[in-house]
């Protein structure tokens, strides 16, 4: 069964600090997909990034960067020079095709990390 | 760009009543997922549909049912509501090509409160 662990329940930083959110996953599939979603106080879930299991390239998008390491089953997320608007709950999620024959990719979420960026 | 639409955004019901939540996926998306997020919890998968057929089922109570219609919109029907059904219900849609996975884009959610 697939499982996602976000060990950090809450993180509090001061604006402009760098912060890394950890994500460790478990899966039996050789093909799987990893995601990060942001949930601000307003409640919606905002897609940030998707990474395929066969693509271990790290990615940078503005102040956001992601470090995918299959050897340690980790997919960590770093925010550089954090801002107050980054305050939100961040969810790491995993999807695998399982036995559905390719028609279903339900997401299994971690418990989320509440990031608070103080001015 | 068009996003996933959910209605209503807020819903208040009494115990044992019935509720219907609606989801309109992003145009041309063929897959719809429903998730339930309790207070302070992570979203939990309920059920999904691909090309109007149920494709997977998660921890969805027997009191709940759902379907996807010919225009790809989906409805989640919830009967005999219980206090524990109070949650944020998300619909997500994706496009699932034959080979690659489609990213799930979430709607704004329906906040259900059962009194």
Tens digits of per-residue pLDDT, B25-68? 999 888 899 999 999 999 999 999 988 999 889 989 999 999 99
Instruction: Please tell me which residue of chain B has the smallest CA distance to A44.
Output: B108
Beta-carbon count within 10 A of A81 CB: 12
Q: Strands A10-14 and A113-118, how do they pair?
A: parallel
Which residues of chain A lie closer than 8 angstroms to B55, CB-CB? 100, 103-104
The answer to whether the beta carbons of residues A38 and A109 sit under 8 Å apart is no
User: How many angstroms away from the CA of A48 is the closest CA of chain B?
Assistant: 10
pLDDT under 70 in chain A at which residues? Answer: 97-104
């Amino acid at each position: 069964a697939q499982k996602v662990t976000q060990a950090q329940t809450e993180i509090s930083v001061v604006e402009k600090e760098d912060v890394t959110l950890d994500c460790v996953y478990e899966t039996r599939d050789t093909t799987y997909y990893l995601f990060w979603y942001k949930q601000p106080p307003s409640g919606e879930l905002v897609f940030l990034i998707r990474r395929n299991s066969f693509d271990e390239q790290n990615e940078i998008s503005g102040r956001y960067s992601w470090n995918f390491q299959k050897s340690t089953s980790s997919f960590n997320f770093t925010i550089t020079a954090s801002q107050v608007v980054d305050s939100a709950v961040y969810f790491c999620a995993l999807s695998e095709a399982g036995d559905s024959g390719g028609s279903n990719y339900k997401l299994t979420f971690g418990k989320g990390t509440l990031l608070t960026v103080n001015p | 760009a068009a996003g996933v639409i959910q209605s209503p955004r807020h819903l208040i019901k009494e115990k044992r009543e019935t509720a219907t939540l609606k989801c309109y996926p992003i145009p041309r998306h063929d897959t719809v997922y429903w998730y339930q997020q309790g207070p302070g919890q992570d979203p939990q998968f309920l059920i999904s549909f691909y090309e109007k057929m149920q494709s997977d089922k998660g921890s969805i109570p027997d009191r709940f049912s759902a379907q996807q219609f010919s225009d790809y919109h989906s409805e989640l029907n919830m009967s005999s509501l219980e206090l524990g059904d109070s949650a944020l219900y998300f619909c997500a849609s994706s496009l699932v090509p034959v080979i690659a996975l489609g990213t799930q884009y979430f709607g704004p959610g329906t906040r259900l409160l059962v009194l």
